[in-house]
Structure 1
Amino acid sequence: MSDWHPSHASRWFAALCSDRLRGAPVAVSLLGRPYALARDAAGRAFALEDRCPHRHAPLSHGVCGASGLVCPYHGWRFDASGRLCEIPGLPADAALPQVRVRAAAVREHDGLIWLRADGRDEGELPAMALRNPPGSRRFLWQTQWRAHVVDAIENFLDPLHTHSIHPGLVRRGGARQPATARFVPSQQGFCVDYLGQPQQSGLLYRLFESPRESERALFDAPGSAQIEYRYANGGVVRISLHFAPHDAATTSVFASLHVENRWAPAWLVRALVWPFLKRVNDQDARMLALQSDNLRRFGAVRGASTSLDLVRPWVQAFWTHGAPPADAQAKDVALML
């Protein structure tokens, strides 16, 4: 985990959609470390480092037995804590070697499997993952962006790229209006309220939305970000993205849509809304890949910033130092949105 601040090992990250983990192990990677995710006989998920300590075969290519994960090479069997339980061919009276596989802590919540790399089942999941009412989720999807986690989080929370990357779909460049961004930081994240724009100029708003009461962007450390829309008719829509670094150049992204107090059955969201959101994702993924490639071409360069770049300093400081900027303070910023 040399690419990451040591404190990130003690934080929870989304690792896989629950419905993707069934009878066979699944390989995932978090903070540059590979894991094999599996389920025990009771259906509980567990995660072991994806390497058998015998001859280093990937456990994610093994099988889930009645009481653990079996290595595909020589059949060594490990329980959910990583303890070696059996070596086929070893006489019954022979002692097992004192080896084990490193385990990550695992929790499941709202359709996602979460990992904590230090193996301690302690602390809370990000508050954002816990605040959505049961039954409000309309879809859940996972993908990967070829981008550093800081660039990925900034992209999602930055409204000013939407005019050029999603022209006409999210916002129209020729329809910018004065607005105020109210930035309020905390020790665990921040929120940005966008004031003075009850409507949005793009096709998504015109097709699926109604006059808004508020638009808010939120970030909960380590990698949970959300756009929340509240409407004059009492409805609430939350688009949440949970980011988990696969490695320094690739970020796993888990997207969900939660809806409250308005008619929006899951089948309708998947049929009508999801194709537009998928297009937005593909446009962002393409730009992030171009950005990532260019950063590799030019090396470690510092980007120019203005007062409009509200979220980057907080996110950058957290991922670099494990804490928010020492001088973070609430502020209002005028912008044309």
Structure 2
Amino acid sequence: MLAVSEPDSNSSTLEPPATAPVRDLRRVPIHADHWYPLAWSKEVKRGRTLGVHFAGDPIVLARSESGTVFALEDRCAHRQVPLHAGVVDGESIRCGYHGWTYDCTGRCIDVPYLGRERLPNGVRSYPCREMYGLIFVFPGDAALAEERPLPDLPSVEDKAYKTRRFGREVKCHYSFMHENLMDMNHQFLHRRQMGQMRARSLGRRRGEDWVEVDYTFARMEGKQPVGEALVFGASKKDGDQDHKDVMTVRTGYPYQTLRILSSDGTLVMDLWIVYVPLDAAQRTNRTFGLLSIRRPGIPFALDLAWPLLVWFTERIFKEDRWIVEQEQEAHDKQGADWNHEVFPVINELRDLLRNCGGRTVIPIHKAGGTA
């Protein structure tokens, strides 16, 4: 029989390891090594330029005379003036100041008063792709661009669906946007559009770079609002109305999706959305969204209802934008994240965004200045 010795009163006991501080998510920059849309295709006309930003970095998008879009650092190597103020010249762009010319790779190919024998260095180029009516740019390590997948959005190209393209600038850190869409418990915010809807979580799942949650919804009482009918279809009775459709919200870093499957497994709604930081502090983002709705069996029914659907989604987005900007304002005044989250999937989402985000730290910002 083994004897159990009493602890030596003179021996020191081991202290538990110190818990590493949790990074303030609102100071975690988005990771640049992914494809991000920086403009809609229609914003960049043939033979024209467009100046955009990614997390404070100026980028010029240019559509050549052949129709190809390319992306360069939006600074001429000569005097650092913006190239978007220049001129597209065939398949290149010419600075509007001294006429220095750059091809689509950023290489300087002409300086009018030097000739072509003594050409200076060029400017940075970015991998660029055009898909789904969006211009995607890879702002990170260009060597990784080929191995990082672009989004696959079959509903956008499927004639069985009608797609709405939408987007706005929102004055908040991108993480607030992810949380807002993932947490369907905030339907009370949309009570004027959606009525007394109650979300019920069916379960959640998580992988290395993704997290998702399933919901069903019930209408508790009263007449069915127009917004609910647009999303879930018209109900046949008032009162407690359960929707057997399943909504799945997923953050697959850095993108987010919301899909609704009917009881027979048909995909009736397919939303893809991404939040692109514009400024260096990453406290303003430009949202790009593609919302695809399956056409019903009645010809042209969705086309006739489309203006109402646009009106409804704009009202929902307006309320969401207002509330996340209020969250950002509270964070600025407090100088830290004081909220107390109790919904497990949101805590998992926050861990995911911290782990997948950039490794640097955005400086603390307080109302009235930067500390």
Give the TM-score band, short-chain normalised: 0.7 to 0.9
Are residue 45 (structure 1) and residue 69 (structure 2) matched? yes
Following superposition of structure 1 onto structure 2, how do residues 28-39 of structure 1 map, counting pairs within 5 Å?
A: 28-39=52-63
Which of 82, 97, 106 pairs up with 1:58? 82
Q: Displacement, 1:14?
A: 1.8
- Check if 1:313 corresponds to 2:334: no
CA distance, structure 2, for counterparts of residue 312 and residue 151 of structure 1 = 12
- Between the aligned partners of 1:67 and 1:295, the Cα distance in structure 2 is 46
Q: Supply the AA of the counterpart residue of 1:304.
A: H
Structure 1: which amino acid aligns with 2:122? R
Alpha-carbon contact 2:295-2:302 (below 8 Å) kept: no
The 2-side partners of 1:266 and 1:41 are apart by 37
Structure 2: 5+ residue runs without aligned partners?
1-26, 234-242, 358-371
Say yes or no: does 1:242 pair with 2:279: no
Matches within 5 A, 1:197-208: 197=217, 202-207=225-230
Q: Does residue 1:280 correspond to 2:316, yes or no? A: yes
The answer as to 2:210 corresponding to 1:189 is yes
Q: Taking structure 1 as reference, are residues 166 and 76 closer, same or farther at Cα in structure 2, changes over 3 Å only?
A: same
| 1:136-151 map, 5 Å | 136-151=161-176
Task: State the identity as a percent.
Answer: 23
Letter of the 1:250 counterpart: T
From 252, 262, 271, the equivalent of 1:231 is 262
Given that residues 126 and 221 in structure 1 are in contact (C-alpha distance below 8 angstroms), is that contact kept between their aligned partners in structure 2? no
CA distance in 2, matches of 1:269, 1:242: 26
Matched-pair contact (CA < 8 Å) for 1:245–1:252: yes
Aligned residue for 1:331?
none
Q: Distance in 2 between matches of 1:181 and 1:208?
A: 19
Which amino acid in 2 is paired with 1:214?
V
Question: Is 1:220 the counterpart of 2:256 in the alignment?
Answer: no
| Residues in 1 aligned to 2:328 and 2:259: alpha-carbon distance in whole angstroms | 28
- Structure 1 segment 1-337 matched on structure 2, within 5 A: 8-23=31-46, 24-91=48-115, 94-97=117-120, 99-117=121-139, 118-120=141-143, 121-127=145-151, 129-132=152-155, 134-135=157-158, 136-163=161-188, 165-172=189-196, 176=198, 179-195=200-216, 197=217, 202-207=225-230, 209-210=232-233, 212-222=244-254, 224-232=255-263, 234=266, 236-247=268-279, 248-260=282-294, 262=296, 267-268=303-304, 270-306=306-342, 308-314=343-349, 316-322=350-356
Letter in 1 for 2:60: A
- AA of the residue aligned to 1:295: H
Report the CA distance shift for 1:231/1:42 in structure 2 as closer, same or farther (over 3 A): same
Whole-angstrom distance in 2 between the partners of 1:115 and 1:209: 35
- Aligned partner of residue 190 in structure 1, secondary structure: strand
CA contact (8 A) 1:190 1:218 kept: yes
Please give the secondary structure, in 2, of the residue aligned with 1:51: coil
In the TM superposition, residue 312 of structure 1 has moved relative to its aligned partner by: 4.4
**TM-score, normalised with respect to structure 1:** 0.82
CA distance in 2 between partners of 1:188 and 1:320 (Å):
11
The gaps in structure 1 that reach 5 residues or longer are 324-337
Q: 1:110 and 1:124, CA in 2 relative to 1: closer, same or farther beyond 3 A? A: farther
C-alpha change, 1:130 and 1:82, in structure 2 (3 Å) is same
Q: Distance in 1 between the 2:150 and 2:251 partners?
A: 9
- The number of equivalent residue pairs is 309
How far apart, CA to CA, are the structure 2 residues paired with 1:50 and 1:266?
42
Q: Please, what TM-score do these two structures have when normalized by structure 2?
A: 0.75
Instruction: Tell me the amino acid that sits aligned with residue 225 of structure 1.
Output: Q
